[in-house]
């Protein structure tokens, strides 16, 4: 194959990023914006040792599993690469991937339960960061195109509740009416950079206006307009971010209007969310995930449980009532502070949270705490080897592994499997419909 030439092929799989995979004479080519089953014409743009990159020039025969919507799906940005693949097929693909990763990477042949998807896989996000910029002299508010700084103007954001659409429209109208300078990413000029929108169960919203400078011209006009035209907006903040880097939010927040925190719920638990707090993005599926983790844990009144990678303490609090004590470990200071205040707010007093890296803190804690059960919920890179070794040393009767990355899950449970644990249940949950991500909960029992 030669770079620049045109080839034809059928998409047979997705990569873990959600790009289409074509095998051309057995050589894998990755192509964006296609779905499994499409027969396409593509141009080879890059060739590495073990794979190539293609750009689709024409879909010759569309996949029968394609789905078209009444809106332009590209406006939802690069985060939802599977959007044009039927939702039930997406679920099937995710479930199969979990099974394959466990087998290929972990060498574990275990029954994988049917993935739990969403009844309605749209408007599920409760936090989005939407870039504001200009294109051809016009204001644009919308998501970035995949791997690019190009903003695709959004009409309706089908990933967030409707109130987000009204906020976007209102801010846009204010920008135009008062001729506010939006941020130009090439020239690094202008004021308004992003809109952070957080929403809760009751369809109330917090708006975080990310600006390049501290002064916002016609600020009170904006607040007035938002209050009048978007009745659910209960809180407005400004975030000042003078950096050009990849982070949306800078360090400084200024409270402009209404409540300082947005209250949300997962099951019976209540959480007061500050503009900088971490909170699970899909509230409905988070509850589903936690219920499964809880049922796999089978908490008893004399259980002492470690919750490693505890974040703001949500899983700890969710299981606390069933057990004697929960010990959380988390490396982000503000998350531990949140976890502590969340436990107070929910009148839960049998939880403790330790700040520090799990690989350092956890091995030190196992001597003094005779815990009999462990939950781990690590970031995408999985558990550090020291954490797995300390679990094996502690030798709990049961481990519940919550994972957002089936490949590192497989790698880690292979180690536990070889050290005397048996994987007895594997339950995938779709937390991010239309993305290539998949959450999994595993139950491991000491033999
Ligand atoms: N269990 C929580 C959070 C899971 S996300 C929930 O359900 O909401 C993973 C968490 O691990 C994040 O909060 C992240 O800050 C934390 N983390 C990442 N690396 C860590 C490490 N080495 N030690 C401890 N915590 C870590």
**Low-confidence stretches of the chain (pLDDT beneath 50):** none
- Which of 230, 404, 438, 442 is catalytic? The answer is 404
Q: Count of CB atoms within 10 A of residue 72's CB?
A: 11
The CATH number of whichever domain residue 50 belongs to comes to: 2.40.50.140
Q: Cβ distance 376 to 388 under 8 Å? A: no
Instruction: Identify whether 273 is part of a domain.
Output: no
Buried b (16+ CB within 10 A) or exposed e, 405-421: bbbbbbbbbbbbbeeeb
pLDDT at 278: 82
Identify which of 291, 327, 328, 330 to mutate to test ligand 1's pocket (most ligand atoms within 8 A of the CB): 330
Instruction: Identify whether 82 is part of a domain.
Output: no
Looking at the structure, do residues 370 and 290 belong to the same domain, yes or no? Answer: yes
* Residue-range definition of the domain harbouring residue 233: 127-266
Looking at the structure, do residues 183 and 166 belong to the same domain, yes or no? Answer: yes
Task: Tell me, in angstroms, the distance from the centre of ligand 1 to residue 308's CA.
Answer: 8
Instruction: Identify whether 80 is part of a domain.
Output: no
289 CA closest ligand 1 atom index: 7
Does residue 310 line the site of ligand 1, with CB under 6 A?
A: yes
Distance CA 367, CA 340 (A): 23
307 CA closest ligand 1 atom index: 1
Instruction: Identify whether 211 is part of a domain.
Output: yes
Looking at the structure, do residues 298 and 324 belong to the same domain, yes or no? Answer: yes
Looking at the structure, do residues 131 and 178 belong to the same domain, yes or no? Answer: yes
Paired tokens of 157: 């954001």
Q: Which residues pair with 357 in a beta bridge?
A: none
Looking at the structure, do residues 320 and 437 belong to the same domain, yes or no? Answer: yes
* Residues 120-124: contacts with CB under 8 Å, at least 24 apart: 121/87, 121/430, 121/433, 121/434, 122/158, 122/159, 122/433, 123/158, 123/159, 123/160, 123/161, 123/162, 124/159, 124/282, 124/284, 124/285, 124/433
Looking at the structure, do residues 159 and 215 belong to the same domain, yes or no? Answer: yes
Looking at the structure, do residues 202 and 252 belong to the same domain, yes or no? Answer: yes
Does residue 330 line the site of ligand 1, with CB under 6 A?
A: yes
Task: Tell me, in angstroms, the distance from the centre of ligand 1 to residue 376's CA.
Answer: 9
230 is catalytic: no
Q: Which residues pair with 345 in a beta bridge?
A: none
Instruction: Indicate the residue among 205, 237, 266 that finishes a domain.
Output: 266
Task: Tell me, in angstroms, the distance from the centre of ligand 1 to residue 418's CA.
Answer: 25
Task: Tell me, in angstroms, the distance from the centre of ligand 1 to residue 238's CA.
Answer: 27
The CATH number of whichever domain residue 307 belongs to comes to: 3.40.50.150
- CA-nearest residue for atom 6, ligand 1, is 311
Does residue 380 line the site of ligand 1, with CB under 6 A?
A: no
Instruction: Identify whether 271 is part of a domain.
Output: no
Q: Which residues pair with 423 in a beta bridge?
A: 444
Does residue 61 line the site of ligand 1, with CB under 6 A?
A: no
Looking at the structure, do residues 317 and 389 belong to the same domain, yes or no? Answer: yes
Does residue 290 line the site of ligand 1, with CB under 6 A?
A: no
Instruction: Identify whether 274 is part of a domain.
Output: no
The CATH number of whichever domain residue 154 belongs to comes to: 2.40.50.1070
Which tens digit of pLDDT belongs to each residue from 141-185?
999 887 788 899 998 999 999 999 999 999 999 999 999 999 998
Paired tokens of 83: 């959007």
Instruction: Identify whether 408 is part of a domain.
Output: yes
Identify which of 283, 305, 308, 309 to mutate to test ligand 1's pocket (most ligand atoms within 8 A of the CB): 309
Looking at the structure, do residues 324 and 344 belong to the same domain, yes or no? Answer: yes
Instruction: Indicate the residue among 231, 266, 301 that finishes a domain.
Output: 266
Distance CA 346, CA 249 (A): 29
Task: Tell me, in angstroms, the distance from the centre of ligand 1 to residue 403's CA.
Answer: 11
Does residue 377 line the site of ligand 1, with CB under 6 A?
A: yes
Looking at the structure, do residues 314 and 390 belong to the same domain, yes or no? Answer: yes
Does residue 273 line the site of ligand 1, with CB under 6 A?
A: no
Looking at the structure, do residues 98 and 142 belong to the same domain, yes or no? Answer: no
Looking at the structure, do residues 152 and 47 belong to the same domain, yes or no? Answer: no
User: How many domains in the chain?
Assistant: 3
310 CA closest ligand 1 atom index: 1
pLDDT at 326: 98
Which tens digit of pLDDT belongs to each residue from 104-118?
999 999 999 999 999
| CA-to-CA separations, 53 to 49, 354, 432, in angstroms, rounded | 11, 45, 25
Does residue 439 line the site of ligand 1, with CB under 6 A?
A: no
Instruction: Indicate the residue among 198, 232, 266 that finishes a domain.
Output: 266
Paired tokens of 236: 């407005």
Does residue 286 line the site of ligand 1, with CB under 6 A?
A: no
Instruction: Identify whether 99 is part of a domain.
Output: yes
């Amino acid at each position: 194959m030669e770079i620049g030439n045109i080839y034809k092929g059928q998409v047979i799989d997705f990569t873990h990023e959600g790009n289409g995979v074509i095998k051309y004479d057995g050589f894998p080519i990755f192509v964006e914006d296609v779905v499994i089953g499409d027969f396409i014409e593509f141009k080879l743009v890059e060739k590495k040792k073990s794979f190539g990159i293609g750009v689709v020039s024409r879909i010759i025969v569309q996949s029968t599993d394609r789905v078209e919507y009444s809106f332009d799906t590209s406006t939802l940005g690069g985060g939802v690469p599977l959007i044009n693949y039927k939702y039930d097929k997406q679920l099937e693909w995710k479930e199969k991937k979990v099974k394959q990763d466990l087998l290929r990477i972990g060498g574990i042949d275990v029954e994988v339960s049917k993935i739990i998807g969403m009844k309605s896989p749209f408007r599920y996000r409760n936090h989005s960061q939407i870039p504001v910029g200009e294109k051809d002299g016009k204001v644009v508010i919308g998501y970035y195109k995949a791997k690019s700084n190009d903003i695709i103007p959004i009409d309706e954001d089908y990933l967030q509740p409707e109130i987000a659409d009204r906020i976007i429209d209102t801010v846009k109208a204010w920008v135009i009416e008062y001729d506010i300078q939006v941020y130009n990413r090439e020239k690094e000029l202008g004021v308004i950079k992003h809109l952070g929108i957080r929403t809760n169960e009751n369809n109330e919203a917090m708006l975080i206006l990310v600006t390049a400078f501290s002064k916002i011209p016609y600020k009170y006009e904006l607040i007035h307009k938002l209050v009048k035209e978007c009745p659910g907006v209960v809180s407005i903040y400004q975030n000042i971010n003078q950096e050009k880097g990849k982070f949306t939010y800078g360090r400084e927040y200024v409270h402009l209007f209404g409540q300082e925190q947005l209250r949300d719920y997962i099951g019976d638990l209540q959480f007061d969310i500050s503009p900088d707090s971490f909170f699970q993005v899909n509230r409905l599926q988070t509850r589903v995930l936690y219920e499964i983790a809880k049922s796999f844990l089978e908490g008893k009144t004399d259980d002492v449980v470690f919750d490693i990678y505890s974040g703001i303490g949500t899983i700890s609090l969710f299981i606390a009532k069933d057990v004697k004590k929960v010990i959380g470990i988390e490396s982000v200071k503000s998350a531990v502070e949140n976890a502590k205040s969340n436990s107070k707010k929910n009148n839960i007093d049998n939880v403790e949270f330790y700040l520090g890296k799990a690989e350092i803190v956890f091995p030190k804690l196992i001597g003094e705490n005779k815990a009999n059960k462990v939950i781990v919920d690590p970031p995408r890179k999985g558990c550090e080897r020291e954490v797995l070794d300390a679990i094996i040393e502690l030798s709990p009767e049961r481990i519940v592994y919550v994972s957002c990355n089936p490949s590192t899950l497989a790698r880690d449970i292979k180690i536990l499997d070889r050290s005397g644990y048996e994987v007895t249940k594997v339950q995938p949950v779709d937390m991010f419909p239309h993305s290539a991500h998949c959450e999994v909960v595993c139950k491991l029992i000491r033999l």
